[in-house]
Amino acid sequence: MPAYQVCQNFFRDTLAPFHKYRQNALLDATLALINGASPTLTSIGRYLPGAAQVKNKIKRVDRLLGNESLHCDIPLIFKGIINMLTQKLSLCVIAVDWSGYPSQEYHVLRASLLCDGRSLPLLSWIVPSEKQQSSQIQKAFLDALAGPVNPKARVISYLTLGENILRHSPLILRRTVLSTVLNHFARTYRSMVLVY
């Protein structure tokens, strides 16, 4: 099964610190989503690989999604993926923006790596709507993003969060070369269309 092997190779180092059962469950859920499952418990359960009955697969996904230890490990997983994606890059162009959420009670704060005309999500936080423009949330988000990014890389952050955030995120700005921002964006946006 090539998709499973690709996922296993891609996530090997990121998931290495976690229990083998949790690794397999996460990889199986990822494979279910790749194979067409919608991001709901029942749909992922129906698409899980294996010979078990559907009700048992759905129960497996329910246990995975309700696992409190996994919820605590999510920041570590994001950190590992960010590190893996940026470790060999000498220049990182990162777009940070708020976007809507199906429920109006929340918004998503997302950072994406702009690469080859595409945007690869690096980090996402779901935030209550009343805290949408909170500079404390935005600063904490940018600090969480700055930690795992390759420390040797130049970072250009395309921030639509507001100019005041530039003053509040020294970890990101320390590696930002402001004099070349416009030049790099001109080259990047020539071959890219971003849809938010």
Does residue 76 lie within any of the structural domains? no
Q: Average per-residue pLDDT in the chain?
A: 79
Q: Which residue has the tokens 């994001």?
A: 78
- Taking the complete model, does pTM exceed 0.75, yes or no? no
CATH code of the domain in which 152 resides: 3.30.420
Contact 114, 95 (CB under 8 A): yes
| Res 168: pLDDT | 43
CA dist 54 and 182 (Å) reads 53
Q: Indicate whether 89 and 181 sit together in one domain.
A: yes
Residues 88 and 150 in one domain: yes
Q: What is the mean pLDDT of residues 46-51?
A: 91
Q: What is the band of 167 on the pLDDT scale with cuts at 50, 70, 90?
A: very low
Amino acid identity, position 140? A
pLDDT at residue 157, as a whole number: 73
Are 185 and 107 in the same domain?
yes
- Whether 71 maps to a domain, the answer reads no
Do 57 and 146 reside in the same domain of the chain? no
Q: Above 50 in pLDDT, residue 165?
A: no
**pLDDT for the residue 176:** 52
- Comparing 183 with 89, which gets the higher pLDDT? 89
| In a shared domain, residues 35 and 121 | no
140, part of any domain: yes
The number of distinct structural domains making up the chain is: 2
- Which residue range forms the structural domain that includes residue 12? 2-66
Instruction: Give CA torsion, residues 88, 93, 99, 101, to 10 deg.
Output: -10
Confidence label for 54 from pLDDT (cuts 50, 70 and 90): very high
> Does residue 124 sit within a domain?
yes
> What is the C-alpha separation between 24 and 30, in angstroms, rounded?
10
Q: Does residue 87 sit in the same domain as residue 154?
A: yes
- Is residue 91 within 8 A of residue 184, CB to CB? The reply is yes
Largest CA distance in the chain: 59
The answer to whether residues 169 and 85 belong to one domain is: yes
Tokens of 142: 């940018």
Same domain, 98 and 145: yes
Q: What is the arithmetic mean of pLDDT over 179-186?
A: 50
Q: Are residues 114 and 162 in the same domain?
A: yes
